[in-house]
Amino acid sequence: MTQPLDYLKESPSQTAGPYVHIGCVPNFAGIKMYDGDLGASMKTGPVQGQEITIKGHVYDGTGTPLRDAMIEIWQPDAAGLFASANETRGTADPNFTGFGRTAGDMDTGEFTFETVKPGAVPWPDGRMQAPHITFWIVARGINIGLHTRMYFEDESDANATDPILTRMEHQNRVPTLLATKTADGVYTFDIHLQGPQETVFFDM
């Protein structure tokens, strides 16, 4: 007979504290445990598609960059395929992991990802989503990791029909999800935790 477990309560969430770097990016924290931190390199060889660099900061409500944030990203390859055993639409680029993890610079707070521009992926009903990258942010004072998406400002046609962007009630906040092309192959995406430019976050 199965024992009922309804008496067990959910553990309260905890702030990431100062130890998130030790556990997730130990080499960055000065603890040389592996050849490199997990997610530090998203490319394991020559990749398909357009190689890009993403730079940005995580800002608090006063407009001050966080210097202890850790950011993860997930994305498909240039053809819109994921490096996953559950991918059934085709074979993803074998030299692209689709997962990145980095800490912001301890002096400036700037984060950087070297990746590829993702392809479009289908929504469950078959509509195509605009090219985007999923972001996850943790830092001291953030009790639950924050999820958001980064879309590309130069994909205006795809953005105009994206199932998520078009569903947002307050369309004036769509720009908080758009990365700006600042140089050839370089995009800037700043994340604002609070304030008038607060980034749209997703309840996941």
Tell me the average pLDDT across 89-106. Answer: 96
- CB neighbour list of residue 159: distance below 8 Å, 6 or more residues apart: 130, 151, 152, 165, 174, 178
- Residue 100: its pLDDT value, please? 97
Per-residue pLDDT tens digits for 166-180? 999 999 999 999 999
pLDDT band at 181 (very low <50, low <70, confident <90, very high): very high
* CA contacts within 13 A on the Cβ side of 88: 2
- Residue 1: its pLDDT value, please? 52
Tell me the average pLDDT across 34-40. Answer: 87
Residue among 52, 57, 103, 54 at smallest CA distance from 77: 52
Average pLDDT score, the chain: 92
Domains of the chain: 17-192 (2.60.130.10)
pLDDT reading at 3 higher than 80? no
